[in-house]
Structure 1
């Protein structure tokens, strides 16, 4: 289920079956969070999909923080961030409509299954850090990272939800909270150094002087690299690295995700236990075990700790690693793209939609390259898709690709390839056949960030489904791309 925390039960003034904004039907009351908001499972009757609805009564000024945070989060699309679909203030009540996640909160999983091992902890931290890094890249702090807002979907996806905008959020607090999540997964305790968390979680273990005990002092089997990382992130005397640097380093160590479970960024691969589920309850999926020897072989010689990530850092900008850092990481930086470096890929079109590609790199969000209108979301069944090819000029280490669209609702992939076979129908067909997809998302916001950690010269943003732009049009499905930016390491 989608859950944002525990709290006192609020009196219900709405009931199952009620339709909000002539669109969102309430199905089941799930819980009330610590802020007194009601959490419901509902259905979007227009798109016929399940949604989570978080309601606050009354609306107006008392709901501004919730609504502002939802609107800000809706502008950032990332595979590890919950999709935010709508935010409505009706005066007497206000509510946020977001993606429904079938799964459980991190808090619930640790309570049911016990402490996580190092591999599973690293995989979850990788997903959370990636989500936080995407928010930070947009200029927004999450402000509410804790085991109740980190969800693990039944398909293994790590999802961060319920951002706050209460004036206390900061980039540094988010990064320290990631470390606290690691401490919680390893020990079952939430250290107060991690900031806000549900009051039901016990504080971290402490010695007689009140100092926080390291995870390996609480339980056996915690590897040194993970113990050091968690404790460094919680150490107020050390400036934490940026979330982008932290996510990049965790991606190197996410063995459970990248090395042993196949491709798929920040996704935990699960197998079902051979057991019969209790009536009305789905068996909790278990992470496939990873041998400690494999992990040790891969991280031999690697130093992972905030001191290493923060070598010679400028404390004013949250840790800028130097070229001499033992990890070799650098903060991502944007690439200046010209019109000559972008073109439209349309393998089965009439080439009429291949004009105006330069608008996606002109720095003006008021201009855009746009598709024609189509009768159905799949380009009317006339083609496998369309996309924008970016030639970086040489092989670069791509950290992320950011796409700003005219409206949300499209489905897109990030693809990479070795060459551009030519600006023609035949060349575009070869691109469609040979370029490898490394990310596939249903875009729920106008701004989408595709995380990446790979070396390539050619990047393709490939659209397979179009959003509905105008239901009254004979060809209502189309999309426009306002800006594309690429960050490299």
Structure 2
């Protein structure tokens, strides 16, 4: 499942070759803790288009044979980067997923022999890409000559998915394809203005994050590693423009626009040639299909004019009619019967779940009862005394019974309003003896508007603060996601995260809060719900400032958290969803990652 933060560059080392040291400034690793760890999908040599492969083969034939450095999992580079998994390996270079042991985060590393003719071009390309500093590109963190090897360190985005993976199953929706081509064109336009070209823009080098942003991996570096270069800026712009057009074509049709196919997609028939997307798949968005014709076809046909640069492509996309975004599915949290109803009607759940309702049969009338036989009258004063004695005994028994019943009911209600409210909040059932959505006096609750939210970072070390608004945007498919922490579910047992993290919602003013609902992106997360006192005039900066408890800390087996309706509403302006333990990260065994998708506060 987690990053859009750009790395801050600082000096870490010097290039050992004096000529190289004079050429460019040092590129360095990110300072202390990046907002979110990063990741890069592996790009294998088999993914290259046919023309790129031919160019790389021709370049390799002219170069001296210098083998790629031999390294193994567990080896350390520069006594800092521990190699974990090899993602690409060929005769010239290898690419790895590694761990930066100083900053305790995942990174990607390219390794190439310092004596290889491509090494200098790789270093130069990495340094130029690092200086771009554009968050739409996967950031280069370091590029150094270390003895007999050159290594390039880049971000690793574990929560991102490569476009090649997204296209394995089906084409993208029109809105997704529109967002893809718009973001790629804007990003590459910015790069070309700074004199940088990609030259190897493939589906594997486009990564989609959980927020829907597309980030480009390997700017200049991927081509340099494979010996692909272009000194002609016009030709470089045309290559990148056609590459974007090919990605758009594949996203719309689920086919590769050339006969040879590639990236897991079938190619087009050779006798068909290069055609617009609408010629291959019916119902394709007309404006987007025209973009494929203008970027790939020569000539594009009709009155369409060719597009040969990312700048022209960006302008053409801006002139397109608006592509409608599909309506998001409404957020629906499951409701549960209250404990009082369950205790009063033990068979209610079973009867309500039945698919067939049995009609009720009227009972036969009861036979009339005969009047009781008259009791013999008690004579004299002894009879009156006995009547008074019996009456007093009966009245005393009634009084004792009423008092005992009332005390039992009060004890049960008090226990329900405290223990049930606190302990059952994590289980999705309503507490305090009220059904979810029904107020303390039987009135229906309304959803309170959330003025804003922020990430809870008590030691001022943010994780993904920029993504906090995704927890209150009304979309269940977006979320605030934490980093992936190694070894321990309590945020990696890091001192900077000893108080966990979470989201603080600001209600704008003091409100009466009766219920809180939370939707989580992953099952198996532990959290509690706290509130600041009514007198708090600003958002508390640490846990001690949230003195009111709405639900206890507990592990949630599912992804829907409901505090239940509180027996007594909480008066507060600030509500904290405090995450204390993270679920296992399915994408990285041994790591832990959590988050919050949606928050609703009712009162």
TM-score normalised over the length of structure 1: 0.47
More helix by share: 2
When you count strand as a share of all residues, which structure comes out higher? 1
Question: Normalising by the residue count of structure 2, what TM-score does the alignment of the two structures yield?
Answer: 0.39
